[in-house]
Amino acid sequence: MSYNDEELFEHQVSAWTVGRLRAALADLPDDLPVTVITAEEPGSNLAGPDQVVISASPWAHVPGGEHDDVSAKLASGELQPDHFEIDCEFPSGQYYRRAGR
């Protein structure tokens, strides 16, 4: 596909808040696993493989900030979070990959 074959469109979503997430989790058992369905592209009905949550915490975007530095500043109160971040990974299992990687 070339540049001329692509169509520009405005993708609008409503990001969930912590309050909305809490409400969705309110009556669920603590041992219920969490999976994430990732979109392959903005606005697509297709989804990538299910992924599991491996960590979640308040976080802040700091251009050029190192992970440990941002973590320390959040812990000390020097920096305030600007979003809640959920990190995902493929579930445990056997996968194929190209040789030499």
Listed by start position, the domains of the chain span 17-89
Residue 11 has pLDDT above 80, yes or no: no
Q: What is the dihedral of CA 96, 99, 100, 101, to 10 degrees?
A: -20
Q: How far is it, in rounded angstroms, from Cα 53 to Cα 68? A: 20
pTM over 0.75: no
Residue-averaged pLDDT of the chain: 83
pLDDT digits (tens, 9 = 90+) for 23-55: 999 999 999 888 787 776 676 666 767 788 888
Strand partners, 37: 50
> Model confidence at 19, in pLDDT bands (50, 70, 90)?
very high
Read off the tokens for 92: 């445990």
Residue 22 has pLDDT above 90, yes or no: yes
